[in-house]
Amino acid sequence: MGLTIGPKIITENLTLHFDSGNPLGWNNTTGEWHNFASNTVGGARNTPNITYNTGEDALFFPNNTNSDCVTVNDINYVTGSSDQINNLTLEAWVKNSSTITDHTSDERIILSFDRSAVFRFGIGIDALNGISSSEGLICFSFTTGSGATATTFDIQAPNCPNLRDDTWHQIGVTYTTSEINFFLDGEIIGTTTASYGSIGGQDTTETPRYGIIGNGSESTSPGAAIGPTNNFSGYIKSIKYYNGKTFTSDEIKNNYNAQKARYGLWFINIQ
- What integer pLDDT is reported at residue 5 of this predicted model? 61
Summarize pLDDT for 102-153 with one digit per residue, the tens: 888 899 999 999 998 899 999 998 876 666 678 999 999 999 987 778 899 9
In sequence order, the β-bridge partners of residue 151 are 144
What is the value of pTM for the model shown?
Answer: 0.93
Q: How confident is the model at residue 261 (pLDDT cuts 50, 70, 90)?
A: confident
Give the contacts of 152 (CB within 8 A, at least 6 positions apart).
115, 116, 127, 129, 141, 142, 143
How confident is the prediction for the chain on average, in pLDDT? 89
Summarize pLDDT for 152-186 with one digit per residue, the tens: 999 999 999 999 999 999 999 999 999 999 999 99
Average pLDDT of the residues in 201-224: 84
Are 207 and 143 within 8 A, CB to CB?
A: no
Secondary structure (H, E, C), the chain:
CCEEECCCCCCCCEEEEEECCCCCCEECCCCEEEECCCCEEEEEECCCCCEEECCCCEEEECCCCCCCCEEEEEEEECCCCCCCECCEEEEEEEEECCCCCCCHHHCEEEEECCCCCCEEEEECCCCCCCCCCCCCCEEEEEEECCHHHCEEEEEECCCCCCCCCCCEEEEEEEECCCEEEEEECCEEEEEEECCCCCECCCCCCCCCEEEEECCCECECCCCCCECCCCCCCEEEEEEEEEECCCCCHHHHHHHHHHHCCCCCCCCEEEC
